[in-house]
Each structure stands twice: as structure tokens, then as C-alpha cells.
Amino acid sequence: MATATTGATFNAKATVDSAWKIIPFFQSRDIHATVLQYTKELGFTLGSEEPHFASLFAGPKAASNIYFSLCHKASEFCASSAMIALGARQHEALYAGLVAREQTQGGSETFRIVEGIQDKEWGFRQFSIKDRDGNQLTFFRFLEGSNGEEMWERAEGEEEGEGERTKENERGCVDSLYETKPKDAMTRDQQRHGVGPG
């Protein structure tokens, strides 16, 4: 149990300023179907997949990372949302590609555009889509200033094997966050979600 430090003032900002990543947690009704949709239709990379959990990411150093957990009961399902910043050219190209795909394919298994691309008064140009479970992703770029171009330039100059190293690093993050020593008949997945056997 944490104890108070005497003679020192707790500075929350000094601790949270070390933050280096934020990971939204979405629910899924079918983990494997979610993995297929995000990897095949949206180009995300699979970091980890288990029957009740998946990690998917995109961008240099897994900059855009989403965790998915399996929801067993339809009555308990709750859709979530997240915003993802893209490069200016990539943002326009992704929207054009999704529009073309929706017009030719459609169907419940395809990402649905729920907000068309538009400029916002707060300085974003954005559009929104929903996955097969209703989770919403809003892709945006800044109307003025940098949109991560310097990050992409660095990424493009890295050697060919960097993608696999990033994938392994991301897997390591998942393990370090969730994995503990197995006890009795509990599986690693049960440990992650606090569910015991039986």
C-alpha cells in the first residue's frame, strides 16, 4: 500500500508529464473479425491476438494503438470512440479510398462513414467512421501547421527491419502491462480481466 511522503509536496504534473502513450480500450463482439477488419480494410498492424483480447496499431513506434476486449453479453456492450491524427496527404487519400470502397462494397462488415470530411471551426479537417461493432474513429489533420511530416520522413528513412522491431516492442508493452505469473488453473487471459476459473 502506498504511503504518504512526509515533508514533500506531491506534484501530479511532474509525474504525468512523463506520459509517452495513450491507448484507448474498445469492446468487440468478435475479436478475430475485428482483427481482420482493421488489418485488411484499414491497414492496421496486429500486435497481439488472443480469444478475448487484441492489440492493433498504426504509425511509427505504434503511435496509434487500440486495445480490444471481447464483450460476451450483448446487453453489456458499449461502443467507444477515438481520434487519430494523420498526415495531410494521407488524410485526404484515406477518405477518398473509404468513400470509393463504401460505394462499391457497402455491407455491415465494412467501415461505415458516419461523418463526411469537413473543416471545423477549431482548426481540424476531419471525418468519422464506425467499425462492425459501432466503435467510432475520427481521423483528422490540422488546417494549419505541421501534420507529422517530420515523423514520417524519419520513419521512411529507417531500415527495412524496423517494422518488425516495432511490432516486437509493442508486444513487449502488452506483456509487461498484463502478464503475471500464472496461478493454479488461471490462464493469462483470465488474469488480464480479473476472471478466475469456474
Residue 133: CATH number of its domain: 3.30.720.110
pTM listed for this prediction:
0.72
Does any domain span residue 87? Answer: yes
Same domain, 94 and 148: yes
Does any domain span residue 187? Answer: yes
Same domain, 95 and 150: yes
Q: What proportion of the chain, given as a percentage, has pLDDT over 90?
A: 61
Judged against a pLDDT cut of 90, whether residue 162 lies above it is answered with no
| 136-151 average pLDDT score | 88
Average pLDDT over the chain, rounded to an integer: 81
Separation of alpha carbons 29 and 79, rounded Å: 10
Does any domain span residue 9? Answer: no
Judged against a pLDDT cut of 80, whether residue 101 lies above it is answered with yes
Same domain, 108 and 72: no
Q: Which has the closest alpha carbon to 45: 29, 61, 30? A: 61
Does any domain span residue 97? Answer: yes
Which comes out higher in pLDDT, residue 175 or 88? 88
Judged against a pLDDT cut of 70, whether residue 188 lies above it is answered with no
Does any domain span residue 118? Answer: yes
DSSP state of 49: E
Same domain, 93 and 111: yes
What are the pLDDT digits (tens) for 33-42? 999 999 999 9
* Residue 84 near residue 139, CB atoms below 8 Å: yes
Structural domain total, the chain: 2
Q: Could you tell me whether strands 64-70 and 25-28 are parallel, antiparallel, or unpaired per DSSP bridges?
A: parallel
Longest CA–CA separation in the chain, Å: 67
* Residue 52 near residue 189, CB atoms below 8 Å: yes
Amino acid identity at 126: Q
Same domain, 88 and 107: yes
Does any domain span residue 68? Answer: yes
Same domain, 112 and 86: yes
pLDDT of residue 152: 62
Domain with 46 in it: 21-78+160-198
Residue written as grid cell 506531491: 10
Given pLDDT bands bounded at 50, 70 and 90, which one contains residue 197? very low
Same domain, 152 and 58: no
Separation of alpha carbons 71 and 85, rounded Å: 28
H or E element at residue 56: strand 53-58
* Residue 136 near residue 79, CB atoms below 8 Å: yes
Does any domain span residue 136? Answer: yes
Q: Which residues pair with 113 in a beta bridge?
A: 129
Question: What's the gap between Cα 118 and its chain centre?
Answer: 23
Burial degree of 119 (CB within 10 A; 0-12, 13-18, 19+): exposed
Same domain, 73 and 84: no
CA distances from 44 to 35, 102, 171 (A): 9, 18, 14
**What CATH number is associated with residue 173?**
3.30.720.120
| 130-155 average pLDDT score | 86
Same domain, 35 and 127: no
What are the pLDDT digits (tens) for 76-95? 999 999 999 999 999 999 99
What are the pLDDT digits (tens) for 40-56? 999 999 999 999 999 99
